[in-house]
Amino acid sequence: MSESLVVYYDRSCPLCVAEMETLKAADPQSRLTLVDCSAPQFDDPAARSAGVSVDQMLAALHVRDPSGNWYRGVEAFAQIYTLLGIRSIAKWLNYGWLRPWLDRLYPVVARHRQVLSRMGLTRLFAALVGWHARRAVARNCTLQGCDVPPQAASTRSTQEPRE
C-alpha cells in the first residue's frame, strides 16, 4: 500500500465533494492530494503521459500513487480507504466475492452522481463515511498519536452520524 495518493475527482459533483472533503478531514497526515479534474483548464502531465484523459477521470474516480500506478473506480476507493485506515469500508470494497458486483454498480452510480446528489444522498453519504472516518482517526490516533484535536479524534468518533 502506498504512503500517499493523488486523487482526481469531479469537484462539480456535490456527492464527490462531500466524500472527498470527509476523507480529507480524516487525513491528519495529509496523505491525500485532491485534484479537481472538472476545472475548465485542467491539465495534468502525469495523467497525460499515462494516457489517462479528462473524460476518463470524469467518468470514474482515479488515483495515482507515488510509483506512478493508476487505480480507477472501486479499486481507487479501496486504495483511499485502506490508506486512511478506514477498515470498515475498505474491507467491503476489497471482498473478493463482492468486488465484481461493486465493479458493475460503480459505473451506474458514477454516471448518475449528479442526480443522486439532487436526491439528497450527499448528506446521508457524508454522514455515513464521516462516522467511519472519525472512528478510524480516533483508532489511529490512539495507536500512533497524531495532530488531530482530542475532541475531533475521540468524542466525535463515538457519536452517531448527524443528518
Model confidence pLDDT, tens digit, residues 47-86: 999 999 999 999 999 999 999 999 999 999 999 999 998 8
For residue 82, what pLDDT is reported?
92
DSSP-assigned beta bridge partners for residue 6: 33, 64
Q: Average pLDDT of 107-136?
A: 77
**C-alpha span between 159 and 163 (Å, rounded):** 12
pLDDT at residue 152 above 60?
no
In a domain, 95, yes or no: yes
pLDDT at 6: 98
DSSP for 79-118, written as a single string = HHHHHTT-HHHHHHHH-TTTHHHHHHHHHHHHHTHHHHHH
Is 68 a domain residue? yes
Q: Is the pLDDT of residue 162 over 50?
A: no
Cell numbers that stand for 19 in this block: 466524500
Distances (CA, A) of 21 to 101, 113, 136: 26, 16, 15
The pLDDT of residue 94 is 87
88 lies in some domain:
yes
Domain that holds residue 69: 5-158
Predicted local distance difference test score (pLDDT) of residue 95 = 86
Number of domains in the chain: 1
Is there a domain that residue 163 lies in?
Answer: no
Please say if the pLDDT value at position 90 is more than 90: no
Half-sphere CA count of 93, side-chain side, radius 13 A: 19
Greater confidence (18 vs 136) lies with 18
pLDDT of residue 8: 97
State the average pLDDT for the chain.
82
106 located within any domain: yes
Tell whether 49 is covered by a domain. Answer: yes
Section 148-152 average pLDDT: 41
Q: What is the pLDDT of residue 100?
A: 93
Structural domain contains residue 22: yes
